[in-house]
Every structure is written in structure tokens, then in C-alpha cells.
Structure 1
Amino acid sequence: MNNFGFNLFSDTFGAVVTYTLGEWSEIISLFLMAITVEYVTGIAASMKEQQGSISQVGFWRLARKGLMLLVIMLAHRMDILLDTDLMMTGAIYFYLANEFISITENYGRLGLPLPVFLKQMIQVLRSKGEGL
């Protein structure tokens, strides 16, 4: 790829990301890192447990991640409309908490040691979530 093509691609990609997510922040970086770690640990746990085909499990995990990003993009556009910074930040924190819980569950599925209090917290969160 020549220099012009690379610059055009990177400029276009940057413009799309800025339009959909706004100014880049550390919370966006943390969220993208968390969804990557959750995806990798989830695939590894599914491989260990031999749950269906890896391509099918991977597709649904990616679809879920894509839908989360769509909600965050919509929340950003709502923030612009309402002239706030609350919607997108709230959506990211909500999904970030879910990703951290899922990462912890995946670690447990992989047989990695987890502190007892973390296991108990996950059980409490699951039981509260079922009541909603």
C-alpha cells in the first residue's frame, strides 16, 4: 500500500471513530481492552469445555461486542443532542462492569484460582440480575 493510500485509510478511520465515539479517552481504551480480554478468555473457556464449534461461539461473542459498541455510539450521539457527557459514560461503565464479571467467570471456567469473595460476589450479582 502506498503512502497516500495508508494516509487516506487512517484519516478516514480516525474520522469515523471520532464521529461515532467522540473524543478518545482512557475509559474507551479500557473498555476496548476489556472486551478483547473477555473475548479471548471466553473462547479459551469454550475450547476447554468443548462447547459447540469455536467459530459459532466466536461469532456470537463478536456480535454481542458489536451490539455493545452500537449502544455506546448511540449514547454518544444522544450526549451531543442533549449537550451532556452522561449517556455514553454511563453506558460504558455498565458494559465495563459486565465485561469484568464475564472475565472473572471465564477465569473460573478455565480452572484458574479465584478468591472466594470474588466467587461470592458473582453469585450475588447473578441472583440480583435474575430478579430484574
Structure 2
Amino acid sequence: MAEIKLTALTALGLLGGCIVDLFGGWDAGLQSLFLFMAIDYITGLIVAGVFKKSRKSLKGALESRAAWKGLLRKGASLGVVLIACRLDLLLGSTIIRDATVIAYCGNELMSITENIGLMGVPLPKVITNALEALQQKDEH
């Protein structure tokens, strides 16, 4: 039994290492992006499941379809990061990947802040003003 466990963990480690290598390495940017995505998803589930204030469903409640769509969006974002990493490999740089990761981190942070606001947690005025400005810019 111990040999099966060791083999499975070794295979899982190799698979994880290969995936991380495809994304350009497990650096602070990628770690932050994964962390922000997880926090955003969890706070989104809390907003919908507990507070019933989600903007992703008609009644504001938790819906499996909306949750699934959120996961698919995050997967698509990671696909764009993967493409950016591969472009950087072709160009011999890290600029495109890093810029893409930073942009997605900013997007996740905006969504986390919005979720926290929907929970009723008071936010500093400077953050709410910045969010409103970004949302207005996004609408145009």
C-alpha cells in the first residue's frame, strides 16, 4: 500500500511540476494569481450562499451554473497566461507573461474588493472611488 501511495504522489508531483513549468515557473506572480483567484472564488461563494447578493444570478443566491461559469472564466484566464508565457519563450523575454499575470491579479483584486463590499464590510473611500472609476471606464 505504501508503494502505491509513493507512486501516486510521485506522479502527482511530476504532473504539477510539468504544469508549473508550462506557466513559466512557480514565482511570486503566479502564486499571487492563484491565491487571488481562490480568494475571489471563495468570497463569491460566500456572497451568493450566505448574503444572497450575487450579481451573477437573478435572485442573488448561489447557483451551480454561475459557480461553474466562474471556474471556466478563471480557467480561460490561466489559458491566456499560458499563451503569454509561450509567446515570451519565443521572444526570449518574460515581459508579456508578467504583464498578463499582473493584469489578472488586478482584475481578481477588484472582484475580491467588490465581494467584500457586497458582504457589507466597510471599505475605505479611496478604494470605492477607484472601483467606481474603473467600472465606469469599463462600461465605456
Structure-2-length-normalised TM-score: 0.86
Mapped to 2, the partners of 1:72 and 1:56 lie a distance apart of 24
Given that 2:88 and 2:97 are in contact with CA atoms closer than 8 Å, whether structure 1 keeps it comes out as yes
Residue number in structure 1 paired with 2:77: 68
For the aligned residues, what is the CA RMSD?
1.4
Q: Secondary structure at the match of 1:2?
A: helix
Residue number in structure 1 paired with 2:132: 123
Given that 1:34 and 1:99 are in contact with CA atoms closer than 8 Å, whether structure 2 keeps it comes out as yes
Mapped to 1, the partners of 2:64 and 2:128 lie a distance apart of 29
TM alignment of 1:1-132, pairs within 5 A: 1-18=4-21, 20-47=22-49, 48-49=51-52, 50-131=59-140
Cα distance, 1:8 vs. partner? 2.0
Structure-1-length-normalised TM-score: 0.91
Residue type at the aligned position of 2:20: V
Percent identity between the two aligned chains: 27
Given that 1:76 and 1:87 are in contact with CA atoms closer than 8 Å, whether structure 2 keeps it comes out as yes
Mapped to 2, the partners of 1:116 and 1:16 lie a distance apart of 40
Given that 1:21 and 1:76 are in contact with CA atoms closer than 8 Å, whether structure 2 keeps it comes out as yes
Structure 1 segments of 4+ aligned residues over 4 angstroms from their partners: none
The unaligned stretches of length 5 or more in structure 1 are none
Given that 2:43 and 2:112 are in contact with CA atoms closer than 8 Å, whether structure 1 keeps it comes out as yes
Mapped to 1, the partners of 2:66 and 2:87 lie a distance apart of 32
